[in-house]
Amino acid sequence: MLGDEKGKIWIDGQLVDWADAKIHVLSHTLHYGSGVFEGERAYRGKIFKMQEHHERFHTSANMVDFEIPYSVQQINKAAEEVIRINNLTEAYVRPVAWHGPESLSVASTANSVHVAIAAWKWTSYFEIKDGQVPGIRLMWSDYVRPAPNVGPVFAKANGQYISGMLGKNKAMKGGYDDAIMLDYRGYVAECTGANLFIVKGGVLITPIADCFLNGITRKTIIEIAHEKGIPFMEKHFYPDELVQADEVFITGTAVEVQPITEIGTQKYKIGSITMQMIEAYKKCINGEA
Ligand code: PMP
């Protein structure tokens, strides 16, 4: 099982033993995907961008038509407690909110809301091998990011991860690391759990986040680009522009800044803007910027 089985998980205000953190099989969310979650990283015992994550946790719940029954401050405190009680320093933190088993109507309005926060040890992806950050390989997903009127596309809602899961499963079975998804218009969108950037002619470009999650890491990278005076543009673009890109990288709380060296048959070099972003993001998470 994932993580430290001897650790504690926070559930609805209580710290319980890892093995006792269980839910009922008739929980609404297990059947209909009516939950939301967060993915956070702690560095040296401190959760990076904690306030932003827990605000998004609340906003995601609102987009799925429910309220998190704890304030952002209470979730902040609970997450810090989980890190502390489990003696974690470099960690992944997973808050999740779900609906209980009171009703199995498709509607969730009669169901209780529950919240858990778990955390486990997680070391950085910034592993430098032979003087290089290793790049990853992507393949194209068969699934696209849907239009904003197909579902709550801006929420970090668990029911929305099916297409990502299928794309990533297929990619991994094919020997790739992740899948890249187009959107419903055929524009390049993002990966299954990370946003995407390209560099072309010294300009940093990212797809407009108008039908997928505008990641916290994506926003941090955009801030860094502005601070460093790197020419930057948000725009819609088709796969042919990605094929012609000089550099490609993805961003996310878990993957941090991850260079892409292959998309299908196309190969990319890890370029200087990607390396600058890796270094600058590393400084950010270390509290140096
Ligand atoms: N897109 C998706 C689908 C994701 O799951 C994530 C990870 N939360 C991201 C983008 C990146 O978001 P963030 O930088 O906030 O982790």
- For residue 193, how far is its CA from the centre of ligand 1 (angstroms)? 5
Residues in the chain: 289
In the chain, beta strands by DSSP E = 8-11, 14-17, 36-37, 40-43, 46-47, 91-99, 113-121, 136-140, 178-182, 188-191, 195-200, 203-206, 232-234, 247-252, 256-263, 266-267
d(CA 180, CA 221): 19
Residue 4 confidence (pLDDT): 59
Q: At residue 239, what is the residue type?
A: P
d(CA 124, CA 136): 15
CA distances from 267 to 174, 209, 215, 245, 258 (A): 17, 25, 25, 10, 15
Question: Does the predicted TM-score (pTM) go above 0.75?
Answer: yes
In the chain, the domains with their CATH numbers are: 8-121 (3.30.470.10), 136-285 (3.20.10.10)
| 181 Cβ inside 6 Å of ligand 1 | no
- For residue 207, how far is its CA from the centre of ligand 1 (angstroms)? 14
Q: State yes or no: is 156 an active-site residue.
A: yes
Residue 133 confidence (pLDDT): 74
Q: CB 201: neighbour CB atoms within 10 A?
A: 9
Closest ligand 1 atom to 220 CA: 14
| 253 Cβ inside 6 Å of ligand 1 | yes
| 194 Cβ inside 6 Å of ligand 1 | yes
Facing residues of 61 across strands? Answer: none
Q: Give the active site residue among 6, 8, 49, 156.
A: 156
d(CA 268, CA 204): 15
d(CA 195, CA 234): 12
- For residue 252, how far is its CA from the centre of ligand 1 (angstroms)? 5
Q: Which position has the token pair 């790739």?
A: 176
Q: CB 262: neighbour CB atoms within 10 A?
A: 16
Residue 288 confidence (pLDDT): 81
- For residue 103, how far is its CA from the centre of ligand 1 (angstroms)? 31
DSSP reduced 3-state for 81: helix
d(CA 72, CA 142): 37
CA-nearest of 133, 169, 176 to 262 is 176
Residues contacting 130, CB < 8 A, separation 6+: none
pLDDT in tens, 146-174: 999 999 999 999 999 999 999 999 999 99
Mean pLDDT, the chain, integer: 95
pLDDT in tens, 55-113: 999 999 999 999 999 999 999 999 999 999 999 999 999 999 999 999 999 999 999 99
